[in-house]
Structure 1
Amino acid sequence: MGKLDIITIIIIVANVLISYKGFNDFSFFEKYKFNVGGIKRGEQVRLFSSGFLHADTAHLFFNMFTLYFFANVVISLLDVFGFFIIYVGSLILGNLLSLYFHKDEYHYSAVGASGAVMGVLYAAILLQPGMSLYIFFIPIPIPAYIFGIGYLLYSIYGMKNRVGNIGHDAHFGGAIGGYIITLLLSPVLFKTNFLMVALLAIPIVILFILKKAGKM
C-alpha cells in the first residue's frame, strides 16, 4: 500500500467532491449520471461523468477504499501514466458494456467508479497474481487470481439474473478494460506469466460465448 501517489489522491478527491455535489444537487446528479436515453440523445459525457458520481457515502467509501489498496500496486509495476490510462479506460469500457447490454432500456441508469476500480483491481491481479486478498467475513487469505476469476463469474450470474441493485456489467466491462490495457502496456506478461493471462481470460471468454449463444 504505502504512500499514495498524487494521481490517486487527485482521483479520490475528484470522486468525493463530485459525489457530494451530486448528493446535494439533484439536477446535477440527473444531468451527469449514466442513463441510456440520455446517451442515445447525444450526451456521451455521461459515459465518463457517471464514474465520479455515487449513490451514497457507503458506495463512495467502498470504491475509494478499494482504489486506495490497489492503486499503488499498478503504479509501482507499471507507472503513473499506465495507471491513469487503466483507470479512465476501464471506467469508459465498463459503461460501454453497460450500454451494450441495456441499449434498449432507455430508463436504465447507473453511477459509480466501480468499473474503473475493478479495472485497477484486475490489472493489479494480472501484474501481481501471487498476492493474497482478505475479504470481509472470511478469516483466511484468498489468492488474488482466484478472487478475480470468482468475482467475474459471479458478475456473469448477476448480469444474467439481475441480482441486486448493482451494475454487474460495468464491473465486468471495467475488468475487461484493466485486463486488455495492462496487456497492451506490458506485453511481456504473455511470456513471463502466460498461464495467469490465460486463467484470468476465462470469465471474459465465457461471457462472450453466453452472449453469442443468446443466453445473456
Structure 2
Amino acid sequence: MGKLDLVTIIIIAANIIISYKGFGDYSFFDKYKFHVGGVQRGEQIRMFSSGFLHVDTQHLLFNMLTLYFFAGVVITLLSPLYFILIYGGSLLVGSLLSLYFHRNEYHYSAVGASGAVTGVLYAAILLRPEMDLYMFFIPFPIPAYIFGIGYLLYSIYGMKNRIGNIGHDAHFGGAIGGYAITLVLSPGLFKTNLLMIGLLAIPIVLLFILKKMGKM
C-alpha cells in the first residue's frame, strides 16, 4: 500500500486542479456537479465530472489519501490500465446508483471521488483480502474483508436513514463497480478467492433484497 505510480499521480493531480477550480468558481462547480435535474435534461457529463469536484479541502484530502493507500495494490496486482478501468467504472456506477435512488428528487446534487475511491478500495480488498487495515480511531488492525463488509453495511444504514451530508449510495455503487469490474478483469479470483467473493457479495445482495421489499 502507499505506492505512488504515475497514473495515481495524474488522477490525484486532476482531482486537486478541478476541485480547486470549483472552490473558487461557483458557476463551474454548479455546471459540473452531479445534479439529478441536470442529468435528466441530458447533461450526462455530470455523471463523470462530479467525481473530480469536492466540497472542501478536507473532503478532497480524505478521498485522495484513501486512493493513495489502495491504488498501488490494484496497479501492482492487475495493471495501470485495469486500475483506470476500475476507477472510471466505479465512478460511473456510483453515479448511476445515486441517480436510481434519487431519480424523483429533481434538486438532489452531490460531488466527490468517493464512488471511484470506494471502488478501488473494494477492488484492493478483493485482490488482497488478507491484508490488515489500520484506522485512526481503532488501536488494532482490521482484516480488509471485515472492513469491506462492515463499510457497505454501514452504507446501507446511511442510505436508509439519510445519515449526514454523505452520498452513501455513490459509495455503495462505487463498491459494486469495483467488485464487478475486478472479477471481470481477473476471473482467476473465482478459483483462488471464492469464499471472499461470496462474503463480499453479502451487503450487495442485501441491498437489492431490501430494495425489492420496498425498505430502501
TM-score category, normalised to shorter length: over 0.9
Q: Distance in 2 between matches of 1:199 and 1:137?
A: 25
CA shift, 1:2, in A, is 5.1
Return 5+ residue gaps in structure 1 as ranges. none
Question: Could you tell me which amino acid in structure 2 is paired with residue 39 of structure 1?
Answer: V
Q: Distance in 2 between matches of 1:140 and 1:56?
A: 30
Determine the structure 1 residue equivalent to 2:93. Answer: 93
Determine the structure 2 residue equivalent to 1:52. Answer: 52
SS at match of 2:87: helix
Question: Could you tell me which amino acid in structure 1 is paired with residue 40 of structure 2?
Answer: K
- Is the CA contact 2:2–2:68 (under 8 Å) kept in the aligned structure 1? no
Q: Distance in 2 between matches of 1:117 and 1:74?
A: 12
Q: Distance in 2 between matches of 1:131 and 1:4?
A: 18
Cα RMSD, aligned residues only = 0.6
Q: Distance in 1 between matches of 2:176 and 2:57?
A: 26
What's the CA shift string for 1:190-216, capped at 9, x where partnerless? Answer: 111100000000000000000001000
SS at match of 1:129: coil
Question: Could you tell me which amino acid in structure 2 is paired with residue 31 of structure 1?
Answer: K
Question: What is the TM-score of this pair, normalised by structure 2?
Answer: 0.99
Q: Distance in 2 between matches of 1:164 and 1:3?
A: 32
Determine the structure 1 residue equivalent to 2:208. Answer: 208
Kindly indicate whether residue 76 of structure 2 is the aligned counterpart of residue 73 of structure 1. Answer: no
What's the CA shift string for 1:67-125, capped at 9, x where partnerless? Answer: 00000000000001110000000000000000000000000000000000000000000
Determine the structure 1 residue equivalent to 2:163. Answer: 163
Question: Could you tell me which amino acid in structure 2 is paired with residue 54 of structure 1?
Answer: H
Q: Distance in 1 between matches of 2:203 and 2:64?
A: 25
Determine the structure 1 residue equivalent to 2:152. Answer: 152
The runs of at least 4 aligned residues of structure 1 exceeding 4 Å deviation read none
Superposition pairs of residues 34-45 of structure 1, within 5 angstroms: 34-45=34-45
Q: Distance in 2 between matches of 1:57 and 1:106?
A: 27
Label 1:215 to 1:3 Cα distance change in 2 as closer, same or farther (>3 A): closer
Q: Distance in 2 between matches of 1:87 and 1:180?
A: 12
Determine the structure 2 residue equivalent to 1:127. Answer: 127
Determine the structure 2 residue equivalent to 1:192. Answer: 192
Task: State, as a whole percentage, how many aligned pairs show the same letter.
Answer: 79
Question: Could you tell me which amino acid in structure 1 is paired with residue 87 of structure 2?
Answer: Y
Equivalent residues, number: 216
Determine the structure 2 residue equivalent to 1:173. Answer: 173
